[in-house]
Structure 1
Amino acid sequence: MKVFTASDLAALSKVERLNLVNSCTGYKSANLIGTLSPEGHENVAVFSSITHLGSDPAMLGFIVRPTSVPRHTYQNIKATGLFTVNHITVVQMEAAHQTSAAYDYGVSEFDMTGLTPTYREGIAVPFVSGSPVQLLCRYLNEYPIHENNTIHVIAAIEAIYVEDTLVTPDGWLQLDRGDVVAINGLDGYARPTLQDRFAYARPKTPLKSLRPHAS
């Protein structure tokens, strides 16, 4: 097995270090965050750092990289308080990755990539058409991470919109039914396939499979 120590990492080129460290922690969620500026400019950007924080109340968090350069998604969220989180599918992954390009403020990544915004009544921020899981989120708080000058943004999940075929009888979402992808590192996209699902684990109790029937 190959070993990379801290000193080895420091000696790598920037690209090699980015690729290694970003992929060594495993698969990450692949999402598009949709926002709207106070001037009405639509913005959509790919994020791989969105994580579940709690279910009651329903909350999530994500990481904003150092604001030494413009972060349009973050700016819009701070200005309006609202954003959407949209799962990326196999057919969307190329367009989704293109949103990571450094477009000027006011330029819509929807227009540049071919992704389509969709709006719901009474909601002023864009969702991504074709995404099988879409969340409406409201900014709650943020915590600076001084060690690397990033920001952990905390948000409430105000509404969940999901394709009917993904929802199982107990409320669990089988994401592979929606061709949802995950991100490996910075630029690798993979379509996970469900292998099994298990009941709550208890000591001295045989583990029970909850594998759903094939759809």
Structure 2
Amino acid sequence: MDKISKGDILSYPRLYRANLINSLSGYKSANLIGTLSPNGTENLGTFSSVIHLGSDPALLGFILRPPTVPRNTYENLKRSKYYTINHIAKDFLAEAHHCSAKYAEDISEFERTGLTPLYRNDWPAPFVAESPVQLMLKFKEEVPIKVNNTIMIIGEVEAIYLQDGLLQDDGFVNLQKGEVACINGLDAYCLPNQEKRFAYTRPFEMVKEL
């Protein structure tokens, strides 16, 4: 088994180090976050840091890099208080990855990639029409992470839109049916295959497969 020390990590070139460390946490969620600027420009950014924070209320978080340069997603959602999270799927991987490019505030990633903005029920942020899982969130809190000056954004889920057939009888959302992708590292998109699903387990009970 290869060993990589802290000293080794610090000695690596920046891109090599970024590829390495971004791969360590395992497969990550692959999402596009949609916001609307004050002048009406539709913004779309690629994020692999969306995490579940709680179910009651329904809270999701994601990490923003230090706001030392313009961060359109951050600035837009702080102004409007609303944003969308859209799962990336097999049919638009390249278009979704293109949204990680650093476009100026007045350029819409929707227009540059050909993805389709979709508005629902007067929500003030665009969904991605091609996405099989579309979430509307309201900004609730930002948590500064002092060790590296990043920010955790916490939002409450206001509405959920799912492709037909994904929602199961017990509330489980079957992402495999929607061909939802995940990310390995910075730039490798994968399609997970659901092998097994288990029932809630308790001490001294046999694990039951669903």
TM-score range (shorter-chain normalised) is over 0.9
SS in 1 for 2:165: helix
C-alpha distance in structure 1 between counterparts of 2:203 and 2:111, whole Å: 54
Offset at residue 91 of structure 1 (A): 1.1
TM-score, with structure 1 as normaliser = 0.96
Partner of 2:74: 74
Partner of 1:114: 114
Partner of 1:31: 31
Counterpart check, 1:40 vs 2:40: yes
Partner of 1:158: 158
Offset at residue 163 of structure 1 (A): 1.4
C-alpha distance in structure 2 between counterparts of 1:161 and 1:13, whole Å: 42
The aligned amino acid for 2:203 is: P
C-alpha distance in structure 1 between counterparts of 2:191 and 2:33, whole Å: 20
Over residues 154-213 of structure 1, what are the superposed CA-to-partner deviations in whole Å (9 max), with x where a residue is unaligned? Answer: 110001111121111101011000000000001010000100100111111111101xxx
C-alpha distance in structure 2 between counterparts of 1:99 and 1:163, whole Å: 22
Aligned pair count reads: 210
Counterpart check, 1:168 vs 2:187: no
Partner of 2:88: 88
Over residues 19-49 of structure 1, what are the superposed CA-to-partner deviations in whole Å (9 max), with x where a residue is unaligned? Answer: 0000011000000000001111100111000
Q: Which consecutive segments of 4 or more residues in structure 1 shift more than 6 A?
A: none
Identity %, equivalent residues: 51
The aligned amino acid for 1:161 is: Y
Are the equivalent residues in 1 in contact too, given 2:80–2:124 (CA < 8 A)?
no
The aligned amino acid for 1:101 is: A
Offset at residue 121 of structure 1 (A): 2.2
Structure 2: segments with no counterpart, 5+ residues? none
Over residues 37-73 of structure 1, what are the superposed CA-to-partner deviations in whole Å (9 max), with x where a residue is unaligned? Answer: 1111100111000000000000010001011111000
Partner of 1:186: 186
Structure 1: segments with no counterpart, 5+ residues? 211-215
C-alpha distance in structure 2 between counterparts of 1:141 and 1:190, whole Å: 31
Offset at residue 130 of structure 1 (A): 1.5
The aligned amino acid for 1:15 is: L
C-alpha distance in structure 2 between counterparts of 1:56 and 1:67, whole Å: 30
TM-score, with structure 2 as normaliser = 0.98
